[in-house]
Amino acid sequence: MDEVFKALADASRRRLLDSLNERNGQSLRELCAGLDMTRQSVSKHLALLEAANLVTTRWRGREKLHHLNAEPVNAIAERWISRYDHERVHALADLKKALEQTPMDANAFVYTTYIRTTPEQLWQGLTNPEFTRRYWGLSFDTDWQPGSPMVWEGQGPASADPEQVVLESDPYRRLSYTWHTFTPEWAEAAGVGDDVLARIADESRSKVTFEIERLGEMVKLTVVHDGFEPGSTVLEMVGGGWPHLLSSLKTLLETGHALPDD
């Protein structure tokens, strides 16, 4: 956590985070255009933010895009916020909230976490029903082959749809599938009101991708949930849910116990 506090201590790096919070997924060129800093200075600050895991990157062709990553601040919040009164950590809570809220004009939620496990165990955590039920409360009925249908089970009646399919499946490296269908039965089980259900049911179906990379005794997991329309309600909902879900997966793999379902 020392790297996180060191990174946040610099005003220029906080400006870069503010810029990404306003518009996520910017290239180095775009970030330089919005800030009164040289390209070299911006590159150095971004390298420190990436080393602290406050910024995660993805390649789009030859262009490197930078995204806010809420995981480090989320970890700080889980470690300390519950132990002290609200006012003493008001600033930290505000920062956590700002980093976890994906900007409405972005079209993707990107989150990177590091887990002390192996790619094989992480793959089981993402696909094996015995694991997914423990931290997610649901399971997937599928053979995990590209193009295969997926039945989501656990939140109300089983959800099946011709468009609920596996998109990519490269064991221990990459997994991608379309998001589930929003049915009245699911909404009732999840406590989602009729007005919200009507909005999200009209949106285009999104997809989620898990990128797995071994780093010594650790595994880098990057989750990219994209395919959203501008102003997407679904994006707002998953942006609030993924940090807790992935923290619970990390805790389960490292300790054998998932986080409490809040």
Backbone φ and ψ of 55, nearest 5°: -130, 135
For residue 109, the cross-strand partners are 225
User: Band of the pLDDT at 102, cuts 50, 70, 90?
Assistant: very low
Contact 209, 174 (CB under 8 A): yes
Yes or no: say if 189 and 160 are a contact pair by the CB < 8 Å rule. Answer: no
Q: What is the pLDDT of residue 104?
A: 40
**What mean pLDDT value characterizes the chain?**
86
Residue 80 has pLDDT above 70, yes or no: no
Higher pLDDT, 7 or 151: 151
Structure confidence by residue, pLDDT tens digits, 180-227: 999 999 999 888 999 999 999 999 999 999 999 999 999 999 999 999
Which is more confident, 150 or 14?
Answer: 150
pLDDT > 60? residue 100: no
Q: Where are the alpha helices (DSSP H) in the chain?
A: 2-8, 11-22, 28-33, 39-51, 71-80, 90-100, 119-127, 129-135, 184-190, 194-201, 233-255
Strand partners, 92: none
- Whether the Cβ atoms of residue 112 and residue 69 lie closer than 8 Å to each other: yes
Burial of 92 (0-12, 13-18, 19+ CB in 10 A): middle
- Mean pLDDT value of segment 239-243: 88
pLDDT at 227: 93
The pLDDT of residue 81 is: 58
